[in-house]
Amino acid sequence: MGKTKRTRLKQTKVPVGCHQWYTVDTLMKKERRQINMTPVKLTTLTKKGGCGCKIGPGELRDVLHSLPETKKDPNLLVGLDTGDDAGVYKLTDDLAIVQTLDFFTPIVDDPYDFGQVAAANALSDVYAMGGTPVTALNIVAFPIFDLDKAILSEILRGASDKVQEAGCNLVGGHSIDDQEPKFGLSVTGTIHPDQIQTNAGARIGDQLILTKPIGVGISTTALKRGLLSDEEVSRVTAVMAMLNKGAAEVMKNYPVHACTDVTGFGLLGHLGEMAAESRQAITLMKDQVPVLPRVRELAEQGVVPGGSKSNLRHVKEAVHFDDRLDEIDQLILADAVTSGGLLMAVEAAQAEALLAELKAKGLDASLIGSVTDGPAGQLFVK
């Protein structure tokens, strides 16, 4: 038998939309293979982008509360009761599976980056539960007869690369022809039944650490309106595409009592869920929350997605803002995030050590508040 020739990878720049380029890897065998793609800005194809297209927390809760109770299975360790990031089902005394899915409309114009961000966002739910992603399935809605098929190929390639980065296995998927593009993953992970992280275990005195900056919803709304520089687009894309894998690995070495990831309901929404499920109060220090550049400037210009405004309306009854905080401050804290960081409640004595290790990994992590003795489910923002 002759030797099989190894396929070489060649990087080629391909235009996407006005004045935007991205790098694709083209297979090189006997001759150079050119990828031709009809230019299109993906964010122009949808009304809402990323996690901002989620049904609002209030409306969703009304729907879920109308459903009849299902039979309780003793092996269902995490289900619908706590509003956690994923479900957990025990298979044996030493093994449980973590199940989640997440998909949304384009949040960026670059197809490859959209695939990366959507995949990182879906994988994050498993990390937030303390699990390890094992398999993933593509969820595809795409106008296959109206857009260039090469665009879908790039979305899938971006997701595949991110899934591989996570050490996860892409095993298939499902697709439909839809006028509005949507993409995401269904992810299954594993975890020991005794090591599950939920949003319900925060204790008085715990310190709160956030591992990524907020302001993604406002920034990507500005992106859609053409108000960001190339550098700013690259920055917000990199934040969204970053896996929470590193943060989750560090978290396992510390006494973290509760964890969730910050996504479509905004920082205030996810803090509110943690406070309510843990039956504690939470104090948030606004000036310690990491925020993407120019977010306040953009918000003052009215560049705020509808989902962020809806988030603020939903949480206002449970949030007590310091008098110095204006509506812009409040909207930023409620901003709908796509593929945000992990929000951890860690034992106070270990908080600085955890924060230092997260920073050593290059994460923009910050200590943003604490769990306090007060009315259950209430947030106090200073």
Specify the amino acid at residue 140.
V
Residue 53: active-site member: no
Count Cβ atoms within 10 A of the Cβ of residue 93 and give its class: 0-12 exposed, 13-18 middle, 19 or more buried: exposed
- The active-site residue out of 18, 51, 168, 259 is 51
Count other C-beta atoms under 10 Å from residue 63's C-beta.
9
List all residues 6 or more positions away from 31 whose beta carbon is below 8 Å from its beta carbon: none
Angle separating helix axes 57-65 and 306-315, nearest 10 degrees? 60
Residue 19: DSSP 8-state: T
Q: Across the strands, what pairs with 184?
A: 103, 139
Q: Which helix (H) or strand (E) holds 43?
A: none
What residues have CB less than 8 Å from 301, skipping those under 6 apart? none
Q: Where are the beta strands (DSSP E) in the chain?
A: 8-15, 21-28, 76-78, 87-92, 95-104, 132-142, 169-177, 182-191, 207-210, 256-261, 281-284, 319-321, 342-346, 366-372, 379-381
Tell the burial category of 77 from Cβ atoms under 10 Å away from its Cβ (0-12, 13-18, 19+): middle
For the chain, helix, strand, coil in percent to 5 are 35, 25, 35
Active-site residue list: 51
